């Protein structure tokens, strides 16, 4: 009688590795540029591209009319963990909001957030170039907001919150070019 043990082990190993790779794919860090590639996709296309995407329980509508109908509870972007909300307008992804998960709170919160912000700024500058605009609350301090514009997307980084409970947010939205005659 023939033994199939080694044959099955050799056959199963690649399938097990492929399965593990698929399960870990959602944990891989996306870059801002990879996220901008999702803009314009339908909800079904986005759900296929982001296996961790879930429907939002209470969708929020932006002033633009876009509806935040999908979210990724733990999206790794540029090496940091964010909660990602995906906003759709006319059945196309128009904007993504990423809010830093679990920022420290308490006495060292501002310093910890400043380190996370500095790392994110460095990553964004490396990929998108110098920011177009940056605004800070105090001269010489790190900017409270910074923005970049690419061919297809606008990227904005915001630091906000109250003392002891800071927040860091990245907004990636589809670029809307307007003819000067329409202004």
Name the DSSP class of 73. Answer: E
Spatial contact of 156 and 143, defined as CB atoms under 8 Å apart? no
Ordered alpha helix ranges (H), 38-140? 43-49, 109-128
Q: Is residue 95 part of a domain?
A: yes
Q: What is the pLDDT of residues 124-140, one digit of tens each?
A: 888 888 888 767 655 54
Q: Is residue 23 part of a domain?
A: no
Total structural domains in the chain? Answer: 1
Q: What is the pLDDT of residues 79-128, one digit of tens each?
A: 788 899 999 999 999 999 999 887 666 667 777 788 888 888 888 888 88
Ordered alpha helix ranges (H), the chain? 5-25, 32-36, 43-49, 109-128
- Distance from the Cα of residue 59 to its chain's centroid: 18
Q: Is residue 98 part of a domain?
A: yes
Q: Is residue 84 part of a domain?
A: yes
Q: Containing domain of residue 129, as a range?
A: 28-176
């Amino acid at each position: 009688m023939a033994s199939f043990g080694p044959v099955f082990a050799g056959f199963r190993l690649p399938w097990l590795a492929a399965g593990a790779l698929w399960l870990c794919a959602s944990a891989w860090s996306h870059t801002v540029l990879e996220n901008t590639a999702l803009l314009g996709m339908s909800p079904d296309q986005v759900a296929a591209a982001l296996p961790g995407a879930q429907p939002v329980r209470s969708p929020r509508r932006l002033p633009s009319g876009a509806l935040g109908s999908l979210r990724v509870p733990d999206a790794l972007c540029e090496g940091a963990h964010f909660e990602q909300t995906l906003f759709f307008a006319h059945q196309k992804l128009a904007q993504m909001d990423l809010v830093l998960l679990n920022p420290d709170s308490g006495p060292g919160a501002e310093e910890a957030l400043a380190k996370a912000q500095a790392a994110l700024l460095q990553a964004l500058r490396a990929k998108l170039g110098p920011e177009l605009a940056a605004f800070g609350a105090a001269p010489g301090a790190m900017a409270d907001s910074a923005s970049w514009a690419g061919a297809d997307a606008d990227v904005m980084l915001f630091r906000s919150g109250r003392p002891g409970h800071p927040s860091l947010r990245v907004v990636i939205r589809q670029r809307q070019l307007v003819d000067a005659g329409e202004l």
